[in-house]
Structure 1
């Protein structure tokens, strides 16, 4: 039984993932940029419950169509910058899974999710503020698509990809 905490992310369509990954390569500190761009739904699910979690995710993802998303703006994180991403369907997905896993959730994962994709983190606040202002000046909302769910094991640094659950498969 693996005790490593599990992380659940929403997979993004290829165009959105490429856009966010290019920004991460430009603006994320290289020594910390060992993950592709991602939208985290849950930060710390219990590793020993992996079988139950994957069972529910397999069933749940099969019943969902790809999720239309709206990239609605930028978010200043203090030491980084993120793009706000979401819609009511993502919020409903998160609430449904929260209810199923409530006894296992950390306080962070029990909160309402503010979906975002981080493109810069762990930099000096003035560097983050400058990037936020620069990107805000030219930002125009755009559409993206959530294509499935990704389950990861957190191993005190890089994440280990465990399983992908495509929507509608």
Structure 2
């Protein structure tokens, strides 16, 4: 279905992705864990505008350097937890895209952006709190790299790849 909504995420360097995805596989309810660890930039872009969105992303990433990230801490979500990401360049890039796509944004995508990678969600609050405390006790901040922008089709289940846009053409 050509008009399936699009999701835009940030891709990570291999080692960082492996760590974040292992934590997600460990803590996310298996029956709900249909996609790998990810950092969502936009949750619902118009599928019918895929060609122009892809062209924008291709032009944007072609000459841009990979984005430095700091996995800075943990965030308690009430029924889950996430790693907080500090990345001024990513925040600026996302803001610029939000301005460009303003007319097409859902209320969720039009609100503020707080970069994070969810590793647990939709569990009982007590389980979420226990996971948060365990992860927090063993956590040390670490550096990661955003290597590309990833575009996905959302059709109700696992996401289908729609495009990969590496920074610097890497």
TM-score normalised to the size of structure 2?
A: 0.97
Residue number in structure 2 paired with 1:133 = 133
- Give the Cα separation in 2 of the matches to 1:107 and 1:35: 23
Unaligned 5+ runs, structure 1: none
- Give the Cα separation in 2 of the matches to 1:105 and 1:162: 19
Residue 32 of structure 1 aligns to a residue whose secondary structure is coil
Q: Which runs of 4+ in 1 moved over 3 A?
A: none
Residue number in structure 1 paired with 2:108 = 108
- In the TM superposition, residue 137 of structure 1 has moved relative to its aligned partner by 1.4
- Give the Cα separation in 2 of the matches to 1:145 and 1:118: 17
Q: Deviations over 1:50-93 (max 9, x none)?
A: 01100100000112100010011000111111000131101101
- In the TM superposition, residue 107 of structure 1 has moved relative to its aligned partner by 1.0
- In the TM superposition, residue 115 of structure 1 has moved relative to its aligned partner by 0.4
Unaligned 5+ runs, structure 2: none
RMSD (Å), alpha carbons: 0.9
Q: Deviations over 1:95-127 (max 9, x none)?
A: 110111000001111112100001111111110
Residue number in structure 2 paired with 1:142 = 142
- Give the Cα separation in 2 of the matches to 1:24 and 1:142: 17
Residue 53 of structure 1 aligns to a residue whose secondary structure is helix
- Give the Cα separation in 2 of the matches to 1:101 and 1:158: 25
- Give the Cα separation in 2 of the matches to 1:92 and 1:63: 16
Residue number in structure 2 paired with 1:5 = 5
Residue number in structure 1 paired with 2:79 = 79
Residue 134 of structure 1 aligns to a residue whose secondary structure is helix
- In the TM superposition, residue 28 of structure 1 has moved relative to its aligned partner by 0.7
- Give the Cα separation in 1 of the matches to 2:108 and 2:63: 27
Residue number in structure 2 paired with 1:94 = 94
- Give the Cα separation in 1 of the matches to 2:103 and 2:13: 32
Q: Deviations over 1:4-46 (max 9, x none)?
A: 0000000011011000111111111111111110000000000
- In the TM superposition, residue 158 of structure 1 has moved relative to its aligned partner by 1.0
